[in-house]
Amino acid sequence: MIIGLDVGGTHADVVLLGEEGLVRQIKVPTNPENLFDTVLTGLEKITDGIDPGTIQRAVLSTTLATNRITQRCMPDVGMIISAGPGINPEFFRTCSDYHVVSGGIDHRGRQTLPLDTDRVRDIADSLEKKGIRYVGVVSKFSVRNPAHELAIADILGDRFDKVFMGHRVSGGLNFPRRIATTFLNASVYPIHKEFFEAVVKALARKGLNLPIRILKPDGGNMRFSASLEHPAQMVLSGPAASVMGAVGFAPQNDTCLVLDIGGTTTDMAILANGAPLLDPLGITIGDHKTLIRALDTISIGVGGDSAVRVIGDTLQVGPDRVGMAMAFGGPLPTPTDAILLLGIGDQGDPDLARKGIQDIADALGVDLMTAAQQIFDQACQTILDEADAMVRRINAKPVYTVHELWEGHRIQPRHIMVLGGPAPWFAKGLERLGNCPVELVPRWTVANAIGAGLARTTCEVTLFADTEQEVVTAPEEGFTQDISSTYSKEDAINTALSLLRDKAIARGANPDHLELEVVDAIEFNMVRGFFTSGKNIRVISQVKPGLIHGFDPIARKIENRPFIQ
Amino acid sequence: MLYAKNKTGLVFFPAFDWAISPTHPEREERLLYTQDQVFEEGIFDIEGIVEYKPDLVTKKDVQRVHFCVPDLWAVMTESHFISAGGTKTIAMAVMEKQVDCGFALVRPPGHHANRVVHGARGFCNVNIEAIMVEFIRKAYGVNRVAIVDTDCHHGDGTQDIYWHDPDTLFISIHQDGRTLYPGSGFLSEIGGPNAVGTTLNIPLPPNTSEEGMLYAIQEVVLPVLKDFQPEIIINSAGQDNHYSDPITNMNFSAQGYAQLTSLLKPDIAVLEGGYSIEGALPYVNAGIILAMAGVDYSHLREPDYDPDRIRQTPDVTRWVGKTCEKALETWHNRVQLGELARKDTQFAKRDRKIFYDTDNINEYQNETLRICEACGGTFRIDSKAHGGKHILAVHIPRNACHHCHEQGLSWYEEAASGAYDKIYLQDCAKDVIEEKTPPP
């Protein structure tokens, strides 16, 4: 059986999934001061009376590190940067112990300026003296040649608890993001490690030896042991959990908009032929733009409990949540109150709701029901408008070949799937105001936890071959090999897929059912003078986000049968 | 977080699947390392730098500028629709004030494409700056435009298109035509009789370095721009003045290009040539973008940059100084020079032979211009490609006076269709394009 656990702002959803479908679902309140307690309680409760030996995996999606980053509650780390010419690396300073050393690598991975190793030694001494235990090392173009990062790490040796190198965070080009991501890895590493080790230990003390996996923002998971090398990747997986909860039920040959409507916010994502679209660059966490692969999601300040106000003579829904809906004793009117009055929902105290909405009606100079309708419609319309803006943004993404531009592939969602607490009520308004059918994701209140539980292990490999220099390299994987000048694009694709296979298995994928694909494979003839001097080949391959093999029967049972409780 | 002082739009279209031929300088690989550098520097993440997806140009956008022989489809490839479209996208973003300025980093280039197009010249088929300028004029009612061409090769195509237009100031700074393709762009080329002085050429000697290029900008270009008062400034930003360029002999640098951009402050820059694809383009393009955006570029330089090695000799400095002095003299005397050129004639004629190096075509042109004090003057071009088509092309300028308009129309109507493969009318005053072909 599989456990899926998703920690949200107000409560954590936990599900137990078996061949018989959704075996058990629970909610435990989130204690932001003590997430450890929240996670442990959730895992204990869901496994109550279950033989732990039957549990194949427990996938956790937590907001642990996110909170620490946004609260800037992180340990001091050291950063050593070698940039070479370009934008002044001072602009990307992440912390006070941020040191730039001389050294340069160019776009083809050639050294243009040797590394100042003496300076690195001095910096290492000073960091050690200050008691800094975690260090990030980043050089420009290290994904083409990690030599300088490796040399710096070598000098740092084992004088620090953990050293993170930039070329290990992603194969993508973006020096400032590589710096930010490496910095976050070094910063959240101790919290991440302590937290999950404590969870594993506490469970073990109770006789629960659960194989823990952690959900990533790209909607895939990773073994806990593998996550220690990439702790920042475990940040912000919440929206991904919800999207993965919808994947199993989305149309496989069409484009679908997924809306996770919560109390405070609505998260949205696009599924193209059943697969979620990825953010082309990487997720933004607080002020940090990173290279962490993530689903392309946006979050807007409209939800069931959004505060409703009249500013001047304009109705305003959200973007904040002040408390519960008035129908549940909250301080301000909300869409939930309007929904109750309109007879769409049936929960809460109608008298309290009426009181709140009447204030809005008076301020707008309309009657009670008109005000309720306006609030509900505005909430739904805002969601639809933001979704349109998201689709426009995705379609405006530049392409770099004549072929792609003329093909002009555009996405246009023709289905909407909704989940989250107020989903069934909003679905009615979205269908009326929008122009495509709206469906409720089965088990919409815990679909996020189901998504976390059923997500497959994902990863990516970026490979770069230069037949003039006779080298193929995937620095993120620590892979470099000499090649002959006849090395071809096919060879590069095969190498990339083989590296991807190994990586996916190491991170916990099922070796019998690997969903490997080539995202991009391009080759360029390098011409110097009038002769072809070599080929420049770039391959990106991935395990795309999706559900684990064999989930279909489970999903069907989730869809058709009431869960067993 | 890094902020752009000037909000800057970018169209980046490297056309990774388009080449003139596999080993041609204008090939798939050309902007590969520029892309690597721009991505690695995180330039698109800078707050205030906006990347746009290029639009396509329309047939009319092209025909407003060019007479395409035998027709538009024979001259334009898919990639040309995009690269010209990219300039249009940037123009719209700038004119609609979504951004303060913009850079179209597109290929293929365009500044060697003349008004009449029988094929490709100097890697160019259609003139992407001129297509953009005429679009801006049509869509936004702009009149006075300045184009400063800083490509190492003379911008002969742009010069040809605006030769008779007194409202378009065209200044080209380039390596002396006696030492480089296309072999034109001498001090004596100063515009047609109705537009004397609004074409200016500053041919610089081989091995001119940062000092000389920036001197020409400061001493000639900036004061002339100040006099001309353009509503918009366009930079044809070729990058082949670079010391590492394989097909030219100049000694300019990434720092130099960035400083040039800071001085010139173009509203729109358009990439032209530049074929040192590894050693120059990645750094020069990054420098131009940062300079346009007003982001510090003081740490930007080529890995092998050595200012002492590329410093210009005193001889070069002297030559540059003299050239600039003469160019300025032309500018100051432009009114008298114009009167001299027009004399008392009614029509000015010129015969030209134009060579298309890329497509190996010889074109013979016979041009008749109506001398006019009131507008740029209508003109007709009788053009024949050796072994190719024979056409007659009539151009009526945008601001045509009544007489020129009538004259242009009657040239078109009276032309005997039997004598030509095609007769074209480009009535820019009415924004009407017409064609006549002989009856079969």
Does residue A557 fall inside a structural domain? no
In this prediction, residues B76-91 reach a mean pLDDT of 95
Q: What is the pLDDT of residue A559?
A: 66
CB of B304 within 8 Å of a chain A CB? The answer is yes
Range of the domain at A385: 251-440
Does residue A551 fall inside a structural domain? no
Least confident segment among A273-277, A493-497, B99-103: A273-277
Q: Tell me the three state secondary structure of residue A29.
A: strand
Q: What is the pLDDT of residue A67?
A: 65
CB-nearest partner of B282 from A91, A107, A113: A107
Chain B residue with Cα closest to A180 = B1
Q: How confident is the model at residue A318 (pLDDT cuts 50, 70, 90)?
A: confident
Nearest-CA distance B52 → chain A (Å): 7
Report the mean per-residue pLDDT for chain A.
91
Cβ of A175 within 8 Å of Cβ of B304? The answer is: no
Q: Do A205 and A275 share a domain, yes or no? A: no
CA-atom Rg of chain A in angstroms: 25
Q: Do A234 and A309 share a domain, yes or no? A: no
The kind and range of the H/E element at A268 are strand A266-272
Q: Which DSSP category does B307 fall into?
A: H
Task: Tell me the chain B residues in contact with residue A174 when contact means C-beta distances shorter than 8 Å.
Answer: 39-40, 42, 45
The CATH code of the domain that includes A238 is 3.30.420.40
pLDDT tens, position by position, B266-323: 999 999 999 999 999 999 999 999 999 999 999 999 999 999 999 999 999 999 999 9
Out of A409, A440, A471, pick the residue that ends a domain.
Answer: A440
Name residues 330-349 of chain B within 8 A of A (Cβ). none
Task: Tell me the chain A residues in contact with residue B35 when contact means C-beta distances shorter than 8 Å.
Answer: 400
CATH code of the domain occupying B3-335:
3.40.800.20
Query: In this model, does residue B195 exceed pLDDT 90?
Result: yes
Cβ of A536 within 8 Å of Cβ of B32? The answer is: yes
Q: What is the pLDDT of residue A378?
A: 97
Does residue A549 fall inside a structural domain? no
Q: Do A400 and A259 share a domain, yes or no? A: yes
Name residues whose C-beta falls within 8 Å of residue A98's C-beta, 6 or more positions apart in sequence: A78, A79, A81
Q: What is the pLDDT of residue A8?
A: 82
Q: What is the pLDDT of residue A561?
A: 45
Which residue has 């003045």 as its token pair?
B241
> Which positions of B are annotated as active-site residues?
112
- Percent of chain A surpassing pLDDT 70: 96
Q: How confident is the model at residue A403 (pLDDT cuts 50, 70, 90)?
A: confident
Query: In this model, does residue A100 exceed pLDDT 90?
Result: yes
Q: What is the pLDDT of residue A280?
A: 86
Query: In this model, does residue B213 exceed pLDDT 80?
Result: yes
Nearest alpha carbon to residue B87 among B201, B237, B229, B225: B237
Q: What is the pLDDT of residue A287?
A: 86
Strands A531-543 and A516-528, how do they pair?
A: antiparallel
Q: What is the pLDDT of residue A30?
A: 86
- Could you please report the per-residue DSSP string of B9-36? EEEEE--TT--SSTTSSSSGGGGHHHHH
Q: Do A350 and A297 share a domain, yes or no? A: yes
Q: Do A169 and A231 share a domain, yes or no? A: no
Nearest-CA distance B256 → chain A (Å): 14
Q: Do A293 and A419 share a domain, yes or no? A: yes
Q: Tell me the three state secondary structure of residue A53.
A: helix
The 10 Å Cβ neighbour count of residue B229 is 9
Q: What is the pLDDT of residue A399?
A: 87
Task: Tell me the chain B residues in contact with residue A108 when contact means C-beta distances shorter than 8 Å.
Answer: 33, 278
- Could you please report the per-residue DSSP string of A386-455? HHHHHHHHHHT----SHHHHHHT------EEEEESTTHHHHHHHHHHHSSS-EEEPTTTTTHHHHHHHHB
Q: What is the pLDDT of residue A562?
A: 42
ipTM above 0.95, yes or no: no
CA-atom Rg of chain B in angstroms: 21
CB-nearest partner of B299 from A85, A112, A141: A85
Cβ of A402 within 8 Å of Cβ of B82? The answer is: yes
Does residue A553 fall inside a structural domain? no
Q: What is the pLDDT of residue B383?
A: 97
Phi, psi of A59 (to 5 degrees): -100, 125
Name residues 26-45 of chain B within 8 A of A (Cβ). 27-29, 32-33, 35-37, 39-43, 45
Query: In this model, does residue A564 exceed pLDDT 70?
Result: no
Q: Do A428 and A472 share a domain, yes or no? A: no
Cβ of A405 within 8 Å of Cβ of B51? The answer is: no
Q: How confident is the model at residue A560 (pLDDT cuts 50, 70, 90)?
A: low
Q: Which residue has the higher pLDDT, B270 or A529?
A: B270
Task: Tell me the chain A residues in contact with residue B36 when contact means C-beta distances shorter than 8 Å.
Answer: 107, 141, 173
Q: Specify the pTM.
A: 0.93
Does residue A9 fall inside a structural domain? yes
Out of A181, A201, A234, pick the residue that ends a domain.
Answer: A181
Buried b (16+ CB within 10 A) or exposed e, B358-382: beebebebebbbbbbeebbbbbbbb
Nearest alpha carbon to residue A149 among A184, A172, A178, A189: A178
Residue A388 in tokens:
């349109």
Report the mean per-residue pLDDT for chain B.
95
Q: Which residue has the higher pLDDT, A182 or B437?
A: A182
The 10 Å Cβ neighbour count of residue A284 is 16
Query: In this model, does residue A558 exceed pLDDT 80?
Result: no
Q: Which DSSP category does A511 fall into?
A: T
Are B258 and B10 in contact by the 8 Å Cβ rule? The answer is no
Query: In this model, does residue B388 exceed pLDDT 50?
Result: yes
Q: What is the pLDDT of residue A70?
A: 64
pLDDT tens, position by position, B406-437: 999 999 999 987 889 999 999 999 999 999 98
Query: In this model, does residue A199 exceed pLDDT 60?
Result: yes
In this prediction, residues B182-198 reach a mean pLDDT of 96
Does residue A535 fall inside a structural domain? yes
Give residue A244's region: left, alpha or beta (phi > 0; psi -120 to 50): alpha
Q: What is the pLDDT of residue A74?
A: 81
Tally of domains within chain A: 4
Q: What is the pLDDT of residue A317?
A: 95
Phi, psi of A396 (to 5 degrees): -85, 0
* Domain boundaries, given as residue ranges, for chain B: 3-335, 344-436
Q: What share of chain A is helix, strand, coil (3-state, %, to 5)?
A: 35, 25, 35
Residue B190 in tokens:
């100063």
Cβ of A402 within 8 Å of Cβ of B15? The answer is: yes
Strands A212-215 and A104-105, how do they pair?
A: unpaired
Query: In this model, does residue B143 exceed pLDDT 90?
Result: yes
Cβ of A400 within 8 Å of Cβ of B16? The answer is: yes
Residue B166 in tokens:
């007194």
Cβ of A177 within 8 Å of Cβ of B17? The answer is: no
Q: Edge-to-edge, what's the strand order for the sheet holding A78-82? A: A98-101, A78-82, A134-139, A162-165
Q: Do A434 and A344 share a domain, yes or no? A: yes
